[in-house]
Amino acid sequence: MKAIVTVIGKDRVGITAAVCSLLAQHNINILDITQTVLQEFFTMVMLVDTSACAASIGEMADILEQAGKEQNLSIRIQREDIFNAMHRI
């Protein structure tokens, strides 16, 4: 299943590395990444494939939220469907 991971927070060294390695630990494959830094504000959007991941998206949402809290970031995973519904006819 495809999902969107978004990471938002104050920019510093190693955010991308930390999030990517966490996703790798759970067998989540990254298909596409875009990221920007605007006025020290870091925003990253990733399209990922969770079909090899043992955890459900709901469980991953908890894991990422917890990891985000520890690093003072907002990290979330959401099914791609919600964005397609809102932005594509």
Q: For other proteins, which is the closer residue by CB, 6 or 16? A: 6
In this structure, which amino acid lies at residue 16? T
Q: Which residues contact 9 (CB under 8 A, 6 or more apart)?
A: 15, 41, 42, 68, 71, 72, 73, 74
Closest approach of other proteins to the CB of residue 83, in Å: 5
| Cβ atoms 77, 45 nearer than 8 A | no
Per rule CB under 8 A, is residue 8 in the interface with other proteins? yes
* Stretch in the footprint of other proteins (CB under 8 A) among 9-17, 18-26, 55-63: 55-63
* Stretch in the footprint of other proteins (CB under 8 A) among 11-19, 20-28, 53-61: 53-61
